[in-house]
Structure 1
Amino acid sequence: MPRRRPCLTLAVPLLSLALAATASAANPLDFGSAIKTADPSGHVWADGRMYLYASHDEECQPDFWMKDWHVFSSADLVHWTDHGACFSVKDLQWADNYAWAPDAAYKNGKYYFVFPAGTGVKDRANPKNSTKWMGIGIAESDSPTGPFKDMIGAPLWTKPYANDPCLFVDDDGKAYLYFPSHPDWLVAEMADDMRSIKGFRKMDMGGYQPKMEGPWVFKRNGLYYYTMPENLRTLSYYTSTSPLGPWKYRGVFMEQENESNNHHSIVEFQGRWILFYHRWLLDESSPCPQKRQRRICAEYLHFNPDGTIQPVVRTSAGVGPLPAK
């Protein structure tokens, strides 16, 4: 066996430490630019990469006037590729604003992008004068990064008012669209071609329905999880043995921060469960340095033996590279 030179023996661990430092993740996630993003929808497709579909907060935008959605992907949760805008309100005939929290799904050999968009203006001082309207649309693509195309040229419905959709495809291939429509929490089963719905269903939430937005549904070990920003601030969840409920409230798993809203998604990646969410942070390089703007972050999420979710604390370290099990 050849003798190892002392200088190489020392250099190898030093190099390993340097590589580990440069390969460590941090919050907020580094997408390679100063882009402001929110409402992350995480999915792992057949190629094994993590894809994040996000709303795009333009710098200094007035009152959430948002125009497009971006998609990012990563093989390790550390190094991300910005694939650019996958869809825009410019691609719509029925809306010109409010490109808010999106979601995505894969079915029928296609990638589906579900999104809220709208028209008009919200008058916060005199709500009765508001003209704002929002609906939910669905677009298709042969690629997970788009470009997506609005195949029906209209929202899936016009009433009730709706935003923040969650599109969940179950193991049997049935697709369900969840959305808040105050005071009800509704779900609609999608038609097989994913271009219409089969009607609305009001879900049984066990008697507890706080104000919320941005629901996210996932399945683990045969149990369905309905998670959402309770009172728009804390992340809470329900569980059920059916995607349609009834649902049992299980409590908060992430506390609020800075009295700000929080949207999220939860997805398994390489054997680990990841919570994506957004924080409101200051950016001195921004044209609006005194205004908190949203940035996407990530944390590991853990479950107790009974399936309940352990509390998650925001960290600056974030996730990745994935630790050894």
Structure 2
Amino acid sequence: MMKRTLVILMGVLVGAGCTTKQGQASKKDKDITAQNPIFQNVFTADPAPFVANDTFYIYTGHDEQAQGIEGFLMKDWLLFSSTDMVNWEQHGAKLRATDFAWANGQAWAAHTEQKNGKYYWYVTVEHGTIPGKAIGVAVADHPTGPWKDAKGEALITNDMTKQTDIFWDDIDPAVFVDEDGSAYIYWGNTVLKWAKLKDNMIELDGPIQTIPVPEFTEAPWVFKRGAFYYLIYSARFPEEIDYAMSDSPEGPWEYKGNLNGALPNSPTHHVGVVEYKGNWYLVYHNGQLPTGGEFRRSVCIENLYFNEDGTIQPITRTTAGVSAIAN
């Protein structure tokens, strides 16, 4: 049995294969809750939860900025997994911005989806030759990889979108695959854009369109529950989480209100939602670790609850996190 030791937060890189529970190295006491933030030995941001093979995965960004220095420093993406929501295996950096030869670094928010037996990791990077942010795609045969550039070039570049002239308006990809196999990608900053994807998941299948939701800032996320489609996004700045509902992934979307207010110590607010073993979860980040902040964020998780009419109950943020569930 491994000795239980506290992991001291010093911005240390995640070690592949390490298992943590409340920042401790142990795999017992399954009846406790996993405290927020979940991972306390590394800074994590922009979480993208994903369920496959009876396992809960969280793909995250990786804040590496030193305390007291301004600006985001993100070079790779990290991966964590659990089967009980308390004990987490840390897989380390499974994908890096340098894995895209056409990119020029900047590993911003990403999202993973599955189709046709393959796994696709959609990432935000800075393009090497086309000014502005861009969206690339990596592919793997397993959620943990190995991953490789699926296309050899960007899926979306800044010159493809003329709705704004912002350098960073093509960020935060979120992909949704419907029950009939239709796939969609949503993304953007200040303007929410979407397009259909071809069956190969690495080409657009039609024009880029926009979604007019109130006060959209960035970080969209789309999922389905029952007959309803849900669009969750960051609104205003400092960012809060608002949402809309529809009977189609193509809209129109009806605005429903606020889910999660502004965060302590982090003006950005990026969430993902999935169902796992009959429970719904909302994963987000804050800046609440002792040396955390705007550029040193940390992933948290809460239960998500729905009303009888399908609307979502506002999030109650906790430091306790969620309870363990049976393997």
Scaled to the shorter chain, the TM-score interval is 0.7 to 0.9
**What does residue range 166-245 of structure 1 map to in structure 2 within 5 Å?**
166-182=174-190, 184-205=191-212, 208-232=213-237, 233-245=239-251
Aligned position for 2:152: 153
Matched-pair contact (CA < 8 Å) for 1:36–1:59 = no
**What does residue range 1-325 of structure 1 map to in structure 2 within 5 Å?**
20=29, 23-30=32-39, 34-45=41-52, 47-60=53-66, 63-119=71-127, 133-158=132-157, 159-160=160-161, 161-182=169-190, 184-205=191-212, 208-232=213-237, 233-258=239-264, 260-284=267-291, 293-322=296-325
1:162 is displaced (CA, Å) by 0.5
Distance 1:291 1:135 in 2: 23
Cα separation, partners in 2 of 1:190 and 1:292, compared to 1, 3 Å = closer
Distance 1:315 1:23 in 2: 14
Deviations 1:2-30 (A, max 9, x none): xxxxxxxxxxxxxxxxx658743100103
SS state of the match for residue 98, structure 2? helix
- How many percent of aligned residue pairs carry the same amino acid? 39
1:247 is displaced (CA, Å) by 0.3
Distance 2:270 2:263 in 1: 12
RMSD of aligned Cα (Å): 2.2
Distance 1:290 1:169 in 2: 34
Aligned position for 2:24: none
Aligned position for 1:10: none
Distance 1:85 1:292 in 2: 18
Distance 1:162 1:247 in 2: 21
Deviations 1:215-265 (A, max 9, x none): 000000120000011115111100000000000000001111236111010
SS state of the match for residue 199, structure 1? coil
Higher Cα Rg: structure 1 or 2? 1
Structure with the bigger percentage of helix: 1
**Structure-1-length-normalised TM-score:** 0.82
Distance 1:80 1:164 in 2: 25
1:281 is displaced (CA, Å) by 1.9
Structure 2 gap segments, 5+ residues each: 1-27, 162-168
Distance 2:233 2:216 in 1: 10
SS state of the match for residue 109, structure 2? coil
Code of the residue aligned with 2:299 in structure 1: it is I
1:312 is displaced (CA, Å) by 0.8
Matched-pair contact (CA < 8 Å) for 2:43–2:63 = yes
Cα separation, partners in 2 of 1:157 and 1:25, compared to 1, 3 Å = closer
1:171 is displaced (CA, Å) by 0.4
Cα separation, partners in 2 of 1:92 and 1:254, compared to 1, 3 Å = same
Code of the residue aligned with 1:303 in structure 2: it is F
Distance 1:84 1:196 in 2: 29
Code of the residue aligned with 2:173 in structure 1: it is P
Matched-pair contact (CA < 8 Å) for 2:97–2:105 = yes
Distance 2:321 2:253 in 1: 30
1:119 is displaced (CA, Å) by 4.8
